[in-house]
Amino acid sequence: MNFLARYGIGSATNARRAAQSLVDKELLLDTHSLEGKSYSVHNVFFSHWLAMVY
C-alpha cells in the first residue's frame, strides 16, 4: 500500500493492469518462480527513463 500511495498508482488493480499493459508492449518481462511473479525492464531506454523519473 505504501508503494501504491507513494507513486500515486491508485489501487492494486490499476497496478496490475499497468504492468500487464507494459508486458504486452514488451517493455517489461514477467518471470514466474516459486517466490511468485516478478518483473524486469526489457528496454534499455525505458530503464534509463525510469531511473531519471524516479
Q: Tally the domains of the chain.
A: 1
* Predicted structure pTM score: 0.69
Angle at 31 between CA 27 and CA 35, to 5 degrees: 140
Which uninterrupted H or E stretch holds 38? strand 36-41
Asked if the model's pLDDT at residue 54 lies above 80, the reply is no
Domain span at residue 32? 2-53
Reported as a single tens digit per residue, the pLDDT across 6-33 is 878 888 898 889 889 999 998 899 999 8
- Residue 37: phi and psi, rounded to 5, are -95, 140
Residue 8 has a pLDDT of: 84
Mean pLDDT, range 36-47, rounded to an integer: 88
Name the 3-class secondary structure at 31: strand
> What per-residue confidence (pLDDT) applies to 28?
92
Q: What angle is formed at CA 10 by the lines to CA 16 and CA 21, rounded to 5 degrees? A: 30
Q: How far from chain centre, in Å, is Cα 35?
A: 17
Residue-level pLDDT at 23: 92
